[in-house]
Structure 1
Amino acid sequence: MGRQLALAELVEERDWQLDLGSGTVAFGGDLRYGVQLLGTESHRDGTWLWAWANEASNLPPGLLHLCTWLRDYGRREGVAELATPGLPLERADGHRLALIASGLTGRPYYRGPYDGGAVFFHLEGIPAQVTDPVRPERALSVLNQVIMAFEVDHRTAAAAFLQQQGWRVEAAAAAITATHPTGSSIRIEFDHLGRLSDMSGTLAAER
């Protein structure tokens, strides 16, 4: 989610143009990046189709390396949603699957809408401002958006996110505290059901 917010700031409201022949996407006239296809949503029948299973479209094999890797990962780890060719959107939509893929690969993704559906693809060669850890002042916002948008274990999500972002995390019975290398700190409290009940933070002065 942190990468997605940073990507949105980068591309802003630019038009997008996907070129399967060159394996690139252009945003406006000044941004162009390589792509790896993930899959498509059909709003007509409410389904998701992985790009590796889309045999009718004759997609370039070079653009399927990532989704094929995800399929193999799903088969190996027993994650059916990654290994099943198609899924109803109420079970797993494109945003949910693309976010999972982003977590596994470290790449941001883009949703390109078209008449009747949308194509999802990962971006390659993205600037570090998108892929670097989020700034300390943004960490609580990112975590809060994930918890509001998805059914996740709040405590697990919070601890894993902060650790992945480079924070030192200390866990107690009803809370976790985290310290950023800059000196900023976060405290997150949970109720008896493990749901987030309060978040607070202190930002260190910029050096």
Structure 2
Amino acid sequence: MSFFKNLFGKEEPSTTGTPVNFQEPGRSAQELTEQYAAWGLDKQHNLSEVIGDNSWNIDLDKGELSFGDNLSFPVQVLGTFSHSSETWLWAWANTGSNIPPQLLEQALQLKKHGEQYDIPMFKNQTFDATVNDLHLIGMIASGIFNSSAYYAADYGQGILLVTLRSEIIDKADRSDAARITTVFPQIISFFEMNHLNAFKNYVERRGYTVSTRDNQVTAVKDGTTITATFDEVGRLTNLKA
């Protein structure tokens, strides 16, 4: 998954305090992917522009993730991925790491949602996983909680997954057509989803007015029009701005 490696300088594929924007998320992993994956990947481009090639360091006592000497962001800890066993472990189940309770709020919210709607990915404390699963969890979490981005911090034996929040990252955001027509083909190549549903969710979250006619979706914002065409089962066949 060279794209993830290029974007984060890592192997392929927080808010502190009360989480925000936990409003009517999907009731299945498929719905959550269609709601948040593209938007989550979009945010990672903002993060990449801000942190550049700086190496990371985390201070769990402070609840901060830093890059170089001048960038430091508050985080929420979601969990860890083990390279050797290829398993995911939720932070709320990682009792041996003594993660401060205030950094587990988002992970526990996701656990509660998983239990309510029987979503194994969120309710099971550990499961066999791939690096792509880790990135999907990060994208969904950053969307649900309106975080600025997520970060996959590779520490050699595994990867620590956190969400973070920063006005600096938010200010790097842009919703122009070039970004959207780049991000959307990327996300549908990484994860299975209904392309039509995912596209509508994505452009609506980016502030576009959306109209649908037959299998064509038109998104309009500030004089810019993006048109996406889909086949009879909702797969993207054409995307242009």
Same fold, TM-score > 0.5, yes or no? yes
The corresponding residue for 1:166 is 207
CA deviations on 1:178-198 (whole Å, 9 max, x unpaired) are 101x11001101123321111
Question: 2:234, 2:79 → 1: CA distance?
Answer: 34
| Kept in 2: contact 1:136–1:184 (CA 8 A) | yes
Show the counterpart of 1:205.
none
Which consecutive residues of structure 2, in runs of 5 or more, have no partner in the other structure?
Answer: 1-40
Q: 1:125, 1:92 → 2: CA distance?
A: 25
Note the alpha carbon deviations across 1:92-126, whole angstroms, 9 max, x for none: 72111111111211211001001211100011234
**C-alpha RMSD of the superposition:** 1.6
CA contact (8 A) 2:77 2:161 kept: yes
Candidates 151, 165, 185, aligned match of 1:144: 185
Maintained 8 Å contact 2:80/2:158: yes
Identity of aligned residues (%): 32
Q: How many residues align?
A: 199
Alpha carbons 2:152, 2:159 under 8 Å: kept: yes
Q: 1:104-143 maps to which residues of 2 (within 5 A)?
A: 104-107=144-147, 108-127=149-168, 128-130=170-172, 132=173, 134-143=175-184
**Residues in 2 aligned to 1:135 and 1:192: alpha-carbon distance in whole angstroms:** 28
Matches within 5 A, 1:80-119: 80-90=120-130, 93-107=133-147, 108-119=149-160
Give matches, 1:169-188, under 5 Å: 169-180=210-221, 182-188=222-228
Deviation at 1:80, TM superposition (A): 2.0
| Deviation of the 1:91 alpha carbon | 9.7
Of 116, 121, 125 in structure 2, the residue corresponding to residue 76 of structure 1 is: 116
- Stretches of 4+ aligned residues off by more than 6 angstroms: none
Q: Do structure 1's residue 43 and structure 2's residue 43 form an aligned pair?
A: no
Structure with the larger helix share: 2
Letter in 1 for 2:72: R
Provide Cα deviations, 1:54-86, integer angstroms capped at 9, x if missing partner.
011111111111111111122223322111101
Contact 1:35 1:122 in 2 (8 A): yes
Alpha-carbon distance in 1 for matches of 2:186, 2:167: 23
Residue by residue over 1:35-55, the C-alpha shift from the partner in whole angstroms, topping out at 9 and shown as x without a partner, is 110100001111000101101
| TM-score, normalization by structure 1 | 0.91
1:120, 1:140 → 2: CA distance?
A: 27
Q: How far 1:133 moved relative to its partner?
A: 5.4
Which structure exhibits the higher relative contact order, with contacts defined as CA atoms closer than 8 Å and separated by 6 or more residues?
A: 2
Give the Cα separation in 2 of the matches to 1:91 and 1:77: 24
Q: Distance in 2 between matches of 1:124 and 1:174?
A: 37
Please report the TM-score for the alignment, with normalisation by the length of structure 2: 0.78
Larger Rg: 1
Answer yes or no: is the 8 Å Cα contact 1:81–1:92 preserved in 2. no
Paired with 2:180 and 2:129, the residues of 1 have a C-alpha distance of 29
Match of 2:240, SS? Answer: strand
Partner Cα separation in structure 1 for residue 79 and residue 150 of structure 2: 11
- Residue pair 1:11, 1:27 contacting (<8 A) in 2 also: yes
- Which protein has the bigger strand share? 1
